Amino acid sequence: MSTELYRDETLEPAGARARDSVAQEVEEWEATEVAAFIARQPEQKQEYLTGSRQPVQRVYTPADLADSKWEDIGLPGRYPFTRGPYPTMYRGRTWTMRQIAGFGTPAETNARFKYLIAQGQTGLSVDFDMPTLMGYDSDHQMSVGEVGREGVAVDVVDDMEALFDDINLEEISVSMTINPTAWILLAMYVVVAESRGYDLNKLSGTIQNDILKEYVAQKEWVYPIRPSLRIVRDTITFCAGAMARYNPINISGYHISEAGANPLQEVAFTMAITSAYVQEVVRSGLDVDEFAPRLSFFFIAQADLLEQVAKFRAVRRVYAKLMRDKFGAKKAESMRLRFHCQTSAETLTQAQPYNNIIRTALQALAAVLGGAQSLHTNGLDEAYTIPSEFAMKLALRTQQIIAEETSVTQTADPLGGSYYVESLTNQLEAGIWEYLERIELMGGTVAAIEQNFMQREMADSAYEHALRKASGEHVVVGVNKYVDSENDQEIEVHQGDPAAEKNQIAQLARVKASRDQSEVARSLSELREAASDNETNLMAATIRAVRARVTMGEIVSALEEIFGRYIETPVF
Amino acid sequence: MESLPVGSQSPPIRVLVAKAGLDGHDRGVKIVARALRDAGMEVIYTGLHRTPAQIVDAAVQEDVDAVGISLLSGAHMTVFPEVIRLLTELGVAQDICLIGGGVMPDKDVDTLTAMGVAAILGQDTPPDVIVETVRRLVAERRRAASAAGRK
């Protein structure tokens, strides 16, 4: 309908002539209305900045988009995917409501999963306890006091079976937040699936498996960087061949942000890390289009709503260009960035905990306006401990209200075309490319991590943020402003079962006593052999070991003999 | 031994900041380390994943005035009692001031303070409050130690 109108420059506000006149009008408006108004009532701040410390103008107009190309904005489901990975977005399918859960023994977590499914949750997400995340069995001395505390304990394949007891894994997607030990947990998942007769190609789910951000941000590691990168490569190539619908990696900015990065650093470092994985897998001989469609991402939704939306749009665009132009991807699916999103736990406060519900709702709205594919909303009590059942239900209801009451889901990328959001998207995109260039000059992502580059940038941002919070420049309601003298917001917090640790250790002892020891020894020596040859894929030997009920801790230690252990030099 | 007045003439405060257990959340501990350092204290950061025994050993070897342990893993009710036990065993519990930081429920905070943790500074504690708390607690310890003729 609009082709004719579009060609008529006078009706096309982004046309060059119109833009010049807009710029002139803005200048004239600044000199008249704005100046007069400010003379009567000064603005509240000298300088307005986004979370990434990008200056914000008083108003945005077509003049700010003078250098923008329609090709960079485009349509949803089409390169460069600025507006979303799918053409119909939430009209076709609402995002997956995926509340993470995990505590105590596998049986306890299994009960929480069933509760969440009954409440209308559409995907599962597993949180493991610290020993499982770090590669220690529940009976290891490093595990004392931490078994089942922050997540569920999984030592051996029997635990994985119990975790998903009575849950059909062909029907629900399962995401596992696990990193240095991800390949072992994936092997356990495969063994459980095989024992139930599932078709591996039908399983959908994700392992986080993003080891590089661990050295930068979350700090869960076992082995040094290079062998760890090889393990990631092995899981990606394994899934490319055997698990058509499974995401072997979830490249995560979330933790980079929570560890202190600003939004620009979050997405820039995530893209740098992505490049490193893609390079590593391509080097092993796999074509980029054979695995890139299954790369998945994970970002945070922070408080600064409009910058967050721009951030999601910018990173989608950068990824598309990176995959096409740097890695030569041909398939559209290799260029479209799909992401899981979680609201920011770091913004939640112990003071006035009910306020956290509102914070989370607004952050979740940013995720949805930014086109997230799945979402976890934090519980109001997360500044205290892991969330209670009630807190998780409220968090899920928050998503359901956004999905079904607000109507923001009716059109794709509803903020696309906003002069401000488009300008900020451009600004963030430019910032990402700048960081990527700097990292390239340092010798690439791994070299930059080894030189503590990202770590230092993030420590600086975190420290500056803490000072702004302390000075009151960054307002946190209930903490540095509108502080209550008395606590009138009592909440019930999750109470862990003190017997969980003992029960889990007893279960592990039973498994260890009942397995075929010679089979254990044989599969461990096979694993060591596989690990010694950098070209061998570790997955096959790991799956055999898991089937023989070798524990995660045993696998981890066996390979530590070959790979060594990572030692950090911290910067602050 | 001559007792030193606590004030501008006293030796700089030495603090060991530590992360215990498997928890890798180090954003807070690094902010604390930097705030204390910027305030003129001598700061040693252990790095991640330390056991209570390693932390106490380092504290004694580095002859620190205070140990700050940051924990966001929920293992605080295991870690702090063990650190207190070790400090007591080595006879330094009165001289080294133990401070906790991180995410923990109020009732655990009460229990830990009753047990001998000098202060628990939650996640929203501003850097200047942390600095002031350490200064105050260390000054109290030094006064008490000098009154008792320990230093």
DSSP element (H, E) containing A296: strand A295-301
Q: Which of A530, A570, A572, A550 is nearest to A227 (CA)?
A: A530
SS3 A409: coil
- Starting at the earlier edge strand, list the strands of the sheet with B97-102: B42-45, B14-19, B66-71, B97-102, B119-122
The predicted model gives A23-40 an average pLDDT of 97
Q: What is the pLDDT of residue B8?
A: 52
What CATH code is carried by the domain that includes residue B141?
Answer: 3.40.50.280
User: In A, residues 118-137, which contact B (CB 8 Å cutoff)?
Assistant: 130-131, 133-134, 136
Q: Which of A572, A324, A328, A275 is nearest to A442 (CA)?
A: A275
Task: Indicate the pLDDT class of residue B4, thresholds 50, 70 and 90.
Answer: very low
The answer to whether residues A384 and A493 touch, using CB atoms and an 8 Å cutoff, is: yes
The predicted model gives A402-429 an average pLDDT of 98
Is residue B104 situated within a structural domain? Answer: yes
End-to-end CA distance of chain B: 7
**Biggest distance spanned by C-alpha atoms of chain B:** 43
Indicate the range of A205-214, A412-421, A496-505, A548-557 predicted with least confidence: A496-505
Q: What is the pLDDT of residue B3?
A: 45
3-class DSSP string for A313-352: HHHHHHHHHHHHHHCCCCCHHHCCCCEEEEECHHHCCCCC
Task: Specify the domain boundaries for CATH 3.20.20.240 within chain A.
Answer: 70-471
Average pLDDT, chain A: 94
Gap between the Cα atoms of B117 and A36, Å rounded: 58
Q: What is the pLDDT of residue B151?
A: 57
The CA-atom distances, in angstroms, between A147 and each of A187, B75, B95 are 21, 9, 33
Angle at A394 between CA A393 and CA A398, to 5 degrees: 115
B33 touching A, CB under 8 A? yes
Phi-psi region of A84 (alpha: psi -120 to 50; beta: other; left: phi over 0): left
Is residue B8 situated within a structural domain? Answer: no
pLDDT digits (tens, 9 = 90+) for B59-100: 999 999 999 999 987 789 989 999 999 999 999 999 999 999
B6 touching A, CB under 8 A? no
| B119-122 vs B66-71, strand pairing mode | unpaired
Q: Which of B31, B48, B73 is opposite residue A466, by nearest beta carbon?
A: B31
CB pairs under 8 A between A and B: 101
Is residue B7 situated within a structural domain? Answer: no
**CATH architecture assignment, domain A70-471:** Alpha-Beta Barrel (3.20)
Which of B27, B46, B48 would you mutate first to test chain A, the one with the most A CBs within 10 A? B27
Distance from B17 to chain A by nearest Cα, in Å? 12
pLDDT higher than 50, residue A140: yes
pLDDT higher than 90, residue A44: yes
Distance from B13 to chain A by nearest Cα, in Å? 19
Rg of chain B on CA atoms, in Å: 14
Write the ipTM: 0.85
B101 touching A, CB under 8 A? no
Is residue B114 situated within a structural domain? Answer: yes
The answer to whether residues A544 and A515 touch, using CB atoms and an 8 Å cutoff, is: no
Please tell me the pTM assigned to this model.
0.92
* Number of structural domains in chain B: 1
Task: Mark yes or no for CB contact B30/A134 under 8 Å.
Answer: no
Q: Which of B37, B73, B124 is opposite residue A146, by nearest beta carbon?
A: B73
How many other β-carbons are positioned within 10 Å of the β-carbon of residue B94? 14
Is residue B74 situated within a structural domain? Answer: yes
pLDDT digits (tens, 9 = 90+) for A253-296: 999 999 999 999 999 999 999 999 999 999 999 999 999 999 99
Structural domain for B36, as ranges: 14-147
Task: Mark yes or no for CB contact B26/A136 under 8 Å.
Answer: no
Task: Indicate the pLDDT class of residue A14, thresholds 50, 70 and 90.
Answer: low
Q: What is the pLDDT of residue A9?
A: 43
Task: Mark yes or no for CB contact B35/A459 under 8 Å.
Answer: no
User: In A, residues 136-165, which contact B (CB 8 Å cutoff)?
Assistant: 136, 142-146, 149-150
